[in-house]
Amino acid sequence: MKETQNVPSQDSEQGIESLVTFANIGLNESLVQGTDALGYVKPTPIQEQAIPVLLSGVKDFIGLAQTGTGKTAAFGLPLLQLIDNSNKKPQALVICPTRELCVQITNEIDGFKKFLPGVFTTAVYGGTSITNQIRDLRRGVQIVVATPGRLIDLIERKAINLEEIRYVVLDEADEMLNMGFQDDIEFILKNTPNRNSIWLFSATMPPEIRKVSRTYMTEPVEVMVGKVNTANKSIEHQYYVTSGHQRYETLKRLIDYTPGIYGLIFTRTKMDAQDITEKLTREGYDVDALHGDLNQNQRDKVMNAFREKTLQLLIATDVAARGIDVTGITHVINYELPDDVEVYTHRSGRTGRAGKTGVCMSIVSSRELSRIRAVERIVQSKFIKSEIPSGTDVCRKQFNSFMDRLLATDISEGAYEPYLPMLIEKFADVSKEEILQKVASTEFDRFLKYYENASDLNVRENKDRNDRNSRGIDRFERSDRRGDRRGERSSDRRSGERAERGGDRNKREFGTSKGNLTKLFVNLGTKDGFYKASFLQFILDMSDLKKEVLGRIDMKDLNSWVEIEKGAANQMIKSLDGKKYKGRSIRMNEA
């Protein structure tokens, strides 16, 4: 698939369109034939600046550019020109974070080498037979594209010869470091002692990448396209403010208000991803989940269905979605904001690619507005506060979409002509208006009934609340959540350990005055999948209260006790008591 958006560059001195092509930045004729065959005419900015440097073969290189800017061609084309196709031993390693990206890079490089005889590439990654991958390596390959874990497995089995590796490419380097692969990357670099150069490509530049570059690279050439951490300018960023317990209803309403949506919905946990998928599936939506509990065959099945657009929506966790590159995604929806700004950049970057526009929507509670401001400032993009559409708005939008589809239906082939007399006879006594109403009712009864008495999901903000929220910006920007980004597997393990400890260790003080507190009982505990942080987030989201009103929380397996300021107790009880959690009624009262 083409990641490249071929845009003309401008000659700053002459003010005319530059004549930079793949032919005049140093690529040989066979590779130019390959780019021509793929429809690539002019290099993108990262390709134009990186390829001449990389063709020297001896310079370390750091390329900073957002996803969707053509980075694969920027390193893939020079690799193909530099390797010796008469030598069938691995000469180049491309390391990337996920199996999906591994396969994608291999396919793109295969497309570029169409007119280069004797050049072989192979992808090695976990979740599939290592025996077949070892067989491919033994047949002879020059370029190996690998995920860190599987490559280390092959190194330890002595199944891959790294003595003649001359070029090491670290693609999506920030993603790999976020996923906890720093030790693996350093191990791989130590096992390629005869390399000529390291080429590092990344969308962002966290301190860990600087550390790797200082340790293993010598005076690297650094090229930056755009600004680090800034969002893609072709993406519109929207946010919708609702109460915590109405996130799902808000999500559903946004989907219904966007006919033809083809999008990714990001959740923090695999439990949320699975829960949302099950709910939307029951209500007739074409969706599936992508999270860490799926094996490779299941992942491949889900991804193939999404690429072929038999799925309208993919519900994914950040860890599971790393490296996904699918064309034509119209919307990214943050069911919850990520903890890290870099993660937001990667999420939103799944849409608005290859010159197309996209929309990134975020569902937030009023307590999270400070984080919106912080992300907005760091990615240097204006976020638009949008109204959650009303039930009437949704029905009107769906009705207009249905009428457009009806009018656009192609009847030129005449497949229904033999049935026309029967149709005319059947509807002889029915007016045109009645027929239209009957056709519409078959499509819209579900929507009209569902949204007949739909409530307003918007939370109306006041100045005082906004002022209080704004004080949290600096705290959010300073927060260091590196451990959380190591992946949901380690997060789930830590959560389970916290839950098992229970008792006094599940108590937390927020510094509230003891004399002003009352204690509430709630029939939710660690058996419901909560640990301290998630339970705190849940009750605050449901009640729209600040954590400052809380005292000690004592969590047990089946229930919990919450100390809270007396003046806020009624609001919390009203917000939680009688509500549903995973189909079970919540019971909250004074202890």
**Whether residue 510 has pLDDT greater than 60:** no
Contact 69/46 with Cβ under 8 angstroms?
yes
| Between 95 and 20, the higher pLDDT residue | 95
Q: What does the angle CA 251 – CA 253 – CA 256 come to, to the nearest 5 degrees?
A: 110
pLDDT 10s digits, 335-362 = 998 877 777 877 888 887 766 788 999 9
Q: Which domains does the chain have, with CATH numbers?
A: 23-224 (3.40.50.300), 235-385 (3.40.50.300), 391-450 (no CATH), 502-590 (3.30.70.330)
Of 211-220, 224-233, 259-268, the one with minimum mean pLDDT is 224-233
Reported as a pLDDT band with limits 50, 70 and 90, residue 135 is very high
Q: What is this structure's pTM?
A: 0.54
pLDDT 10s digits, 187-201 = 999 999 999 999 999
pLDDT at 556: 84
Where is 201: in which H helix or E strand? strand 197-202
pLDDT 10s digits, 441-474 = 877 777 788 887 888 999 875 544 444 444 443 3
Q: What does the angle CA 64 – CA 70 – CA 76 come to, to the nearest 5 degrees?
A: 95
- Mean pLDDT on 113-139: 91
| Between 151 and 463, the higher pLDDT residue | 151
- Mean pLDDT on 19-41: 87
How far are the Cα atoms of 272, 548, 577, 591 from residue 555, in angstroms, in the given order?
21, 19, 18, 14
Of 145-154, 423-432, 444-453, the one with minimum mean pLDDT is 444-453
pLDDT at 374: 83
The whole-chain average pLDDT of the chain stands at: 81
Phi, psi angles (nearest 5°) of residue 339: -75, -25
**Whether residue 539 has pLDDT greater than 50:** yes
pLDDT at 514: 52
Reported as a pLDDT band with limits 50, 70 and 90, residue 208 is confident
| Between 226 and 396, the higher pLDDT residue | 396
Q: Which range, 168-177, 254-263, 512-521, 530-539, has the best average confidence (pLDDT)?
A: 254-263
Q: What does the angle CA 43 – CA 47 – CA 49 come to, to the nearest 5 degrees?
A: 115
pLDDT at 237: 92
**Whether residue 66 has pLDDT greater than 70:** yes
Reported as a pLDDT band with limits 50, 70 and 90, residue 74 is very high
pLDDT 10s digits, 303-331 = 889 988 999 999 998 776 766 767 789 99
